[in-house]
Amino acid sequence: MSGFKFRTLLLTLSLTVSANAQQLTSETTAKLVGVLPEITQLRQLSSHTDPATRWQILWLHQHISEQVMAASLQVDATIAQIDNEISRANELRGFLSDRRDATVSRANLLSILIGGGLGATSSGLQLSSTLDKPAAAVGIASGTLSASLALAGIRAQKGHTSQFDFSSNMLAEFFDRPALTDSRYPATIWTFLNQDPANSPTGLSRKQQLLQTWVTVRRIDSLSSADKIDRLTSQPSELLQLTIDDLEDRAAMLQDVRARISFLKRDLGNLLTSLPTVDASSPAQPAANAP
């Protein structure tokens, strides 16, 4: 077989696999949205041109489009809730980070000023042979104070803690924690997250992939890290204190969820584009038995 024929065969096989994968994804999305029977019926009627069938085709198109639009709006509403929680977490993290940076900067500045001042005083006292002991005492005090301030700066690196007072915990359902009313995923989106992506080599659902990723990148140590998960899924009534790292992890994990959910918008768009086109060049009166 020549190189050209071999490349042509590979390209044909690749296009066939891609088309089959796209068709499988469209069917999965149609079943997810609840319009698979309508799409099957639409494809069966698409070759008919009589007036009654045409109006039935138009009705099926409209019904499918409405269902897809409803699912798309659910995705938008869920993403909006996630974005608001991310925004609040980042805002609070920024506030705590500013306080931490100010504390560390003051500790470092005081360490330099006190260490330098007392060091200079110790050096000046050493100019006199009768003041060796006072000079040594001042030098010891300088070193002790500088070390204490440096240690305080190191401890301050962790930063202060604060309650997360925003009424949203969109990570709760991922860890089987109680979710607030506005933080529950619509059935369509939750089913999507619990499905295996098309051609997934791991055989894991989107939710399982996210959980595995969070453990791998050490957002959580493991799925049994109860204290950490409690803070990541906290709600205001629990009065839990969150650190800067907790807020950073929470926002990053929510970004991951947002990205996965956004793929549903792509699949919904592909579903609409896969529908048979409607020939409306010759409008007709609707039949009496049309749906």
Report yes or no on 61 lying in a domain.
no
Report yes or no on 249 lying in a domain.
yes
Report yes or no on 191 lying in a domain.
yes
Report yes or no on 145 lying in a domain.
no
Report yes or no on 233 lying in a domain.
yes
Q: 175 pLDDT band (50/70/90 cuts)?
A: very high
- Range of the structural domain that residue 171 is part of: 70-100+160-273
What is the pLDDT, as a whole number, of residue 281? 55
Report yes or no on 216 lying in a domain.
yes
Report yes or no on 81 lying in a domain.
yes
pLDDT tens digits, 103-142: 766 666 666 656 655 555 555 555 555 555 565 555 565 5
pLDDT tens digits, 79-100: 999 999 999 999 999 999 888 7
- Are the C-beta atoms of 186 and 78 separated by less than 8 Å? yes
Quote the number of domains for the chain: 1
Report yes or no on 20 lying in a domain.
no
pLDDT tens digits, 200-249: 777 899 999 999 999 999 999 999 999 999 999 999 999 999 999 999 99
* Global pTM exceeds 0.85: no
